[in-house]
Amino acid sequence: LTASVPELNEMQSVKEWFDLCNRRLFQVRNNPIAHYYSQKHEGYKSLGAFGNDTLFVDGIATGGIRYKHCHLGMTHIETDHNGLPETVYYGYKLSAAQAISKWGDDAPRIARDGMASDPLQQNMYLHTVRPRHDWDPERRDNLGMKYESTIISVEDRELVEEGGYDEQPYIFSRYTVNPSEMYGRGPAELI
């Protein structure tokens, strides 16, 4: 990290402050709970083979952040007018027991019913994160966040969770992209 004003970067106190910030950022990333290196390894494989990688970055309730590689086959993006990824749809499966663990009493009906018959029953969920068009920076709730987030239980079409993010939590990388393409091409495809 550095200051956007070059003259400030010459000041010793500013250098020390940014050095401290950099060390703290790497402490968070290097924390074993963050899973950065294992998840990024998966992403490099995806980027090299298919030309696309999706990394989800989220806060942990106990503090810190975690990284999660998202399988390309379960990820769909929409780009903005500049061709940059703007909206991300990510589908994933959770067992009934995992859904109850995550959402408790707010878990969808299909997960609550599944706990009675088969706690290992897998159900599909769709996480959508897109720019919030009714963003109000004065608000302190979800409407005060630049990106809206929804999680839907696909089988029973039930809204499970609504939230928001100040920044897009999905980092979508592309190896190389032609002007008319949303998805990238990897080195394995270019041979």
Alpha-helical runs (H) found in 51-168? 96-103, 109-117
Condensed to tens digits (0 to 9), the pLDDT of residues 166-184 reads 999 999 999 998 888 889 9
CA nearest 133: which of 123, 142, 146? 146
- pLDDT-derived band at 189, boundaries 50, 70, 90: confident
3-state SS assignment for residue 36: helix
Condensed to tens digits (0 to 9), the pLDDT of residues 66-123 reads 999 999 999 999 999 988 899 999 999 999 999 999 999 999 999 999 999 999 999 9
User: Is the CB of residue 98 less than 8 Å from the CB of residue 114?
Assistant: no
- What is the 8-class DSSP label of residue 86? E
> How far apart, in Å, are the Cα atoms of 123 and each of 3, 75, 94?
47, 17, 6
Number of Cβ within 10 Å of residue 170's Cβ equals: 23
Whole-angstrom Cα distance, residue 106 to residue 102? 9
